[in-house]
Amino acid sequence: MYPYYEQDWSVLPPENNRRFNPAFNMATIRQAFTEAVERVRMPTPTRLRDLIRQIRAARTAAEERAVVNKECAYIRSTFREEDSVWRCRNIAKLLYIHMLGYPAHFGQLECLKLTASTRFTDKRIGYLGAMLLLDERQDVHLLITNCLKNDLNSSTQFVVGLALCTLGAIASPEMARDLASEVERLMKSPNTYIRKKATLCAFRVIRRVPELMEIFLPATRSLLSEKNHDVARNSSDTPDAFQKIVPNLVRILKNLILGGYSPEHDVSGVSDPFLQVKILRLLRILGHNDPDASEAMNDILAQVATNTETSKNVGNTILYETVLSIMDIRSEGGLRVLAVNILGRFLLNSDKNIRYVALNTLLRTVHADTSAVQRHRTTILECLKDPDVSIRRRAMELSFALINAQNIRTMTKELLLFLEKADAEFKAQCSSGMILAAERYSPTTRWHLDTQLSVLIAAGNYVRDDVVSSTIQVVSSSPVPEQTYITNRLWEWLQVANHCEDKQPMLQVAVWAIGEYGDLFMYGANEDEFERPTESDLIAVYYKFLTSAQVSTTSKQYALVSLAKLSTRLQQCVEEIQALITSFGSHLNVDLQQRGVEFTQLFGHYKHLRPPLLEKMPAMQISRISSQNGESGGGSFDDNSPDVIENGVEGGGGGGHSLIESNMNTLGDNTNILLDLLGSTDLSAGGAGDLVAATDLSNAVHKKNSRNANDVAAPVSNNQDLLDLLDLDLSAPSSTTTGAPAGGGGGGGIVALVGDNNQSSAANMNNMLGGLDLGGFGSGLDSSASIPTNGNDLASMLGGLGAPPAASAPLAAPASVGNLIDGHAGSLLADLNPTAASNNVAVPPQGPRLTALDKDGLLVQLVSVRGSDCMRIYMTTTNNSDNTLDQYLLQAAVQRSFQLQMLTPSGSVLPPGGVITQEMRVVATSNATLRMRLRIQYVLDGQQQVEQTEVSGFPEQQPAPAAAE
Amino acid sequence: MLFMLLFSRQGKLRLQKWYMAYPDKVKKKITRELVTTILARKPKMCSFLEWKDCKIVYKRYASLYFCCAIEQNDNELLTLEIIHRYVELLDKYFGSVCELDIIFNFEKAYFILDELLIGGEIQETSKKNVLKAIASQDLLQEDETPQSFFDDHGLG
């Protein structure tokens, strides 16, 4: 190592010994002596190259680890012993070990000690170590700041250089603050070497601590006026203070381009590209949004753009930067076209990097300058076939950006070709992009549908859900002939082998369309001479899908719903469909099983509900919030459409319709169903339409039955209409209950509900209530007595009661019992509410009628009916005027001794002749006379109207049941 | 420039220079990720990739990959030039450089890089000046320790 310590250094003749010093004094001898002693005490450490060799010789990772661990242990021990002679070498070794990924943080402090050494080698390695090992930990940084400060003031330029370099690499904000003034001083140094380093170091300092910018500004300004090649390059984020240097920069740049040949800074024939790029970039920053500066630059940019040689990467680098600058400043239109043309030439370049850069830049500028970019469309489309994935990806994105109404047909053709061959990762994005583009620009519906279909076929299983839903939506909003057309096409594609496995999204759309438009498909106008399948063929295809293991559950769900729909569209094969659907009642997949069971119900008890439930869907609204990627957009819709159907079925006829109503805006069949229910209620009520008579009957029953029965009747009868229904049914129980097959008293009624299907569900419910009442089984009545007064809970009670018979019901497979019970509870609930609501409308409650307001055609009437524990007041508002009243709102107030509860009104809009009903419940806490103050608000022709009135004369509150007699 | 990495085709790190302060753990993670990503790329692919919020520019010279992370608005093509310039310098300094030179003289490679770049910005565009600075510093070192500190086994 150091020759001092080599055995033979002293035997060399003086002329060969470079350390020979005639002024060999005692001090040096003493130093040599102590160091020699130290060296004897410690064994010589392994040399750096030896260590590297050893590590490289290690055959396994374990072997390497062993070598490294041994060496690390040794290095640690030397650090502990403050061995200053070998510190430098040890740190060097540690740095190598660090690069291999082993921990080396224990060397941090030693690095600092090295930097404090006077020897240049120590400093060099020490700063290198500092740059590699130090993170921004504060304690160590304080130490290194001191070292740096010393070295920045050194007289050796290389020491200063080392310090500046280190500062440039690891300056933390604190360090930057502490040393900023030193750096600023060095920027004015006469030495170019130091000045350059200091300038870049200042750049770093400013980046870490932007507010330090101020102190550097004057120095930077003077530097810029220098001719030195590199100093000028300091500045990429210097601020608006530099406005006036633009001409200067332009001059420098001009000199660079036109100036003499300077071999030093030359890179394959282009003079100092690094500087050119920096200046261009600075010009870009300065010219951004500054018309004057931009004006000054136009010329030189054009010059650079035309004069730069493009055969090498270097030239293209500069052109690229020029293009960026042209795009970013307020340049002339001609210059912009020139820039886009340069990029167009880049696209034809054989260097893939340059093609990539061009596409990337075009992508950035396409929105600003579409027409210029359009001219390079064919080249861009060529890039779709590039072997490089990244280039293909950029080209694809760019293509989407270029699509407009004029070129959609050709672009789509190219993109479809691309889509067919594209890698899996592209297919999803590409298909979604095409669908979006088609949605926006499609020239005709037919073309749009064809494109959707082609995309589905080309992209196969990689299609995102949004494409499926968007296609379905497009189909549903198309005119009828187009619907027939696309259904036919889809059917044709379904015939192609393998499609059911690799093209599930297409399968989903196909079965949806066939289910939805089955009637058009099979029996509609046949314009394009399409060869229709027979019904049994169709069912056979469905059978194939539904039983195939390769078809996903989602597709099967689509198919099952579609099949159910077909059952109302086809003319012959309904039994086959029923059999197929019923077979799913025991499917292993819970969802499919549920659908199977539910649809089966539609072939059984609820047969009459099937056609209206499975009506054609109305044209769907586009409610797409989707972004370019369509990631979030379509999915929700996709989920919804089958669900709505499902709910409709689950609700057994009633409840689901409110869902359909709100979601799909189909009021029509909903009303039908309600009328249905009402109709059957009437039927079951027989001739007992007279409500007074019914009440009488009810009371008779109350009297006849025990107190318990009364309790049941009471909560139920809270809802007057329900009471009515109950009563009506009580009038007919003799037939219904005796007709029920099971003999188990009230239970029979419930079983009748499950098993008996001739009556509407509303009637069934009444049956059940009737059964309860008449059977009078004690415990059930007690529990029911505690049920709170609203209809929902009533339903749940019924559901609960319904459970045991349902469990014993023969039709349920074990796994689906829970579903069944839920389903029935749900359907009861559903039945209850609409029935109640409809009765509100259809059968005005009887009782003293008070007219609260009769003004300008607006008639507000109150009918009060005494309940067991409260008084019910039904408000009926009738609009007899010719105007529509909006936002109708009724507010009511009563005295303090009463409690008032208002239920939701039936609506808020009163068309001419329209009626709004609302129910209020009043509970008296003392024996006062009820008075009610009403405030009625509505909007007429955009004007807010308010009416106030007070109503009294309500019947006295009395103990409930006896009063009516 | 945010950082520069040199690694071999086997994925071994040969040189790392960070111009941003990352914790050690993050550095290791970034290195691992980039090495696997880049090694997985095929030769016909282009030299740029978008990675997190920066751009990666890499180039392969013989068995060594030179990989730089630059900011979004930096010039990728110019970065390729910088890499090339660095390789030229190494080549001049070592005399037809190979991976072994950089393994055994990694500190020299660092010194050269530090003369070319400061804080991630190019400092000296003249090859001659860089080499001159390095040579004089080496001389300075030799003057203190007549036989150069590290090359006692003749690995120049």
- What torsion do the CA atoms of A531, A533, A534, A537 make, to the nearest 10 degrees? 160
Local confidence band at A862 (pLDDT 50, 70, 90 cut-offs):
confident
Q: Which residue has the tokens 């300094």?
A: B93
- Higher model confidence: residue A810 or residue A545? A545
Smallest Cβ–Cβ distance between B75 and the set A135, A201, A317 belongs to: A317
Which pLDDT score, from 0 to 100, does residue A167 have? 85
Contact A665, A653 (CB under 8 A): no
Which pLDDT score, from 0 to 100, does residue A393 have? 82
Q: Give A821's contacts (C-beta < 8 A, 6+ positions apart).
A: A799, A802, A803, A806, A807
Mean pLDDT of B40-57: 84
- Give the C-alpha separation, A91 to A76, whole Å: 10
Which pLDDT score, from 0 to 100, does residue A236 have? 41
Complex prediction ipTM: 0.91
- Give the C-alpha separation, A733 to A764, whole Å: 11
Three-class secondary structure assignment of A313-351: HHHHHHHHHHHHHHHHCCCCHHHHHHHHHHHHHHHCCCC
Query: Cβ contact (<8 Å) for A230 and B123?
Result: yes
Which pair of structure tokens corresponds to residue A757? 């299907």
Phi, psi of A854 (to 5 degrees): -145, 95
**Distance from chain centroid for Cα B50:** 20
Partner residues linked to A948 by β-bridges: A935
Smallest Cβ–Cβ distance between B46 and the set A125, A131, A388 belongs to: A388
The two beta strands, B13-18 and B3-8, are antiparallel
Burial A649-661 (b: 16+ CB within 10 A, else e): bbbbbbbbbbbbe
Helix extents (H) in A815-929: 817-842
Mean pLDDT of A90-113: 86
- Higher model confidence: residue A20 or residue A554? A554
Structure confidence by residue, pLDDT tens digits, A899-935: 888 888 888 888 888 888 888 888 877 777 788 888 8
CA distance A230 to chain B (A): 7
Burial A520-529 (b: 16+ CB within 10 A, else e): bbbebeeeee
Q: In this model, does residue A846 exceed pLDDT 90? A: no
- Higher model confidence: residue A358 or residue A844? A358
Which residues does chain A have within 8 Å of residue B55's beta carbon, measured at their own beta carbons? none
- In which region does residue A864 sit, left (phi positive, over 0), alpha (psi from -120 to 50) or beta (all else)? beta
Task: Supply the DSSP string of A430-464, one letter for each residue.
Answer: HHHHHHHHHHHH-S-HHHHHHHHHHHHHHHGGG--
Burial of A423 (0-12, 13-18, 19+ CB in 10 A): exposed
Which pLDDT score, from 0 to 100, does residue B83 have? 92
Q: What is the DSSP letter of A690?
A: -
From residue A382, alpha-carbon distances to A379, A645, B43 in Å are 5, 47, 21
Which residues does chain A have within 8 Å of residue B145's beta carbon, measured at their own beta carbons? 1-3, 121
Structure confidence by residue, pLDDT tens digits, A308-332: 777 777 788 888 888 888 877 777 7
Which pLDDT score, from 0 to 100, does residue A175 have? 83
Contact A129, A95 (CB under 8 A): yes
Contact A205, A176 (CB under 8 A): yes
Query: Which of A318, A313, A311, A314 has its CA nearest to residue A339?
Result: A318
Structure confidence by residue, pLDDT tens digits, A180-205: 888 888 887 888 788 888 877 887 77
Local confidence band at A21 (pLDDT 50, 70, 90 cut-offs):
low
Three-class secondary structure assignment of A181-238: HHHHHHHCCCCHHHHHHHHHHHHHHHHHCHHHHHHHHHHHHHHHCCCCCCHHHCCCCC
- Give the C-alpha separation, A327 to A658, whole Å: 57
- Give the C-alpha separation, A452 to A462, whole Å: 14
Percent of chain A with pLDDT over 90: 0
Query: Cβ contact (<8 Å) for B147 and A357?
Result: no
Q: Which residue has the tokens 């409709």?
A: A648
Which pLDDT score, from 0 to 100, does residue B66 have? 94
Which residues does chain B have within 8 Å of residue A56's beta carbon, measured at their own beta carbons? 103
3-class SS of residue B27: helix
Q: Which of A88, A200, A304 to mutate to test the interface with B (most CBs of B within 10 A)?
A: A200
Structure confidence by residue, pLDDT tens digits, A809-835: 333 333 333 333 343 433 333 333 333
Query: Cβ contact (<8 Å) for A390 and B46?
Result: yes
Structure confidence by residue, pLDDT tens digits, A396-416: 888 888 888 888 888 888 888
Structure confidence by residue, pLDDT tens digits, A578-594: 888 888 888 888 888 88
Q: In this model, does residue A251 exceed pLDDT 60? A: yes
Smallest Cβ–Cβ distance between B140 and the set A92, A128, A158 belongs to: A158
Contact A782, A773 (CB under 8 A): no
Local confidence band at B58 (pLDDT 50, 70, 90 cut-offs):
very high
Q: Give B154's contacts (C-beta < 8 A, 6+ positions apart).
A: none
Q: In this model, does residue B153 exceed pLDDT 80? A: no
Give the CATH fold of the A849-952 domain: Immunoglobulin-like (2.60.40)
Query: Cβ contact (<8 Å) for A272 and B125?
Result: yes
Mean pLDDT of A943-952: 82
Query: Cβ contact (<8 Å) for A49 and B151?
Result: yes
- Give the C-alpha separation, A942 to A848, whole Å: 35
Percent of chain A with pLDDT over 70: 62
Task: Supply the DSSP string of A618-674, one letter for each residue.
Answer: PPPP------TT-SSHHHHHHHHHHHHHHHHHHTTTTHHHHHHHHHH---HHHHHHH
Phi, psi of A858 (to 5 degrees): -95, 120
Which residues does chain A have within 8 Å of residue B81's beta carbon, measured at their own beta carbons? 267, 273-274, 313-314, 317
Burial of A424 (0-12, 13-18, 19+ CB in 10 A): exposed
From residue A918, alpha-carbon distances to A210, A674, A794, A898 in Å are 68, 19, 21, 19
Question: How many CA atoms lie less than 13 Å away from A595 in the CB half-sphere?
Answer: 26
Which residues does chain B have within 8 Å of residue A353's beta carbon, measured at their own beta carbons? 46-48, 76-77, 80
Of the given ranges (A233-237, A890-894, A938-942), which has the lowest mean pLDDT?
A233-237
Contact A318, A277 (CB under 8 A): yes
Query: Which of A759, A802, A809, A396 has its CA nearest to residue A597?
Result: A809
Q: What angle do CA A339, A340, A341 make, to 5 degrees?
A: 90
Partner residues linked to A876 by β-bridges: A861, A917
Mean pLDDT of A336-354: 83
Which pLDDT score, from 0 to 100, does residue B69 have? 93
Residue-averaged pLDDT of chain A: 68
Q: In this model, does residue B155 exceed pLDDT 80? A: no
Local confidence band at A563 (pLDDT 50, 70, 90 cut-offs):
confident
Mean pLDDT of A149-169: 87
Q: In this model, does residue B5 exceed pLDDT 90? A: yes
Q: In this model, does residue A761 exceed pLDDT 80? A: no
Highest mean pLDDT among A403-417, A671-685, A720-734, A807-821: A403-417
Give first-to-last CA distance, chain A, whole Å: 123
Of the given ranges (A136-140, B26-30, B132-136), which has the lowest mean pLDDT?
A136-140
Query: Cβ contact (<8 Å) for B78 and A170?
Result: no
Which pLDDT score, from 0 to 100, does residue A767 have? 40
- Give the C-alpha separation, A673 to A677, whole Å: 6
- Give the C-alpha separation, A802 to A255, whole Å: 96
Q: Which of A317, A327, A347, A363 to mutate to test the interface with B (most CBs of B within 10 A)?
A: A317
Local confidence band at A249 (pLDDT 50, 70, 90 cut-offs):
low
Which pLDDT score, from 0 to 100, does residue A87 have? 83
Contact A709, A773 (CB under 8 A): yes
From residue A189, alpha-carbon distances to A113, A157, A721, A828 in Å are 28, 11, 100, 93
Structure confidence by residue, pLDDT tens digits, A444-470: 888 888 888 888 888 777 877 778 888
Query: Which of A834, A812, A830, A810 has its CA nearest to residue A821?
Result: A812
Query: Which of A515, A501, A442, A509 has its CA nearest to residue A473?
Result: A509
Q: Give A890's contacts (C-beta < 8 A, 6+ positions apart).
A: A860, A875, A877, A902, A905, A918, A934, A935, A936, A937
Q: What is the DSSP letter of A905?
A: P
Query: Cβ contact (<8 Å) for A356 and B136?
Result: no
Which pair of structure tokens corresponds to residue A69? 């661990």
The helix-helix angle for A480-495 and A445-459 (nearest 10°) equals 20
Mean pLDDT of A257-273: 54
- Give the C-alpha separation, A898 to A918, whole Å: 19
Q: In this model, does residue A341 exceed pLDDT 50? A: yes
Q: In this model, does residue A351 exceed pLDDT 90? A: no
Which residues does chain B have within 8 Å of residue A44's beta carbon, measured at their own beta carbons? none
The helix-helix angle for A173-187 and A213-224 (nearest 10°) equals 30
Give the chain A residue nearest B114 (alpha carbons): A165
Q: What angle do CA A377, A379, A383 make, to 5 degrees?
A: 110
Q: Give A644's contacts (C-beta < 8 A, 6+ positions apart).
A: A656, A659, A660, A663, A664
Q: In this model, does residue A665 exceed pLDDT 60? A: no
Which residues does chain A have within 8 Å of residue B76's beta carbon, measured at their own beta carbons? 353, 357
Smallest Cβ–Cβ distance between B80 and the set A99, A201, A353 belongs to: A353
Smallest Cβ–Cβ distance between A136 and the set B14, B21, B44 belongs to: B21
Mean pLDDT of A519-548: 77
Q: In this model, does residue A20 exceed pLDDT 70? A: no
Highest mean pLDDT among A257-271, B1-15, B133-147: B1-15
Architecture category of domain B3-149 in CATH: 2-Layer Sandwich (3.30)
From residue B79, alpha-carbon distances to A273, A382, A596, B40 in Å are 11, 27, 64, 21
Rg (CA), chain B: 16
Element (H or E) spanning A950, and its range? strand A943-952
Partner residues linked to B66 by β-bridges: B6, B59
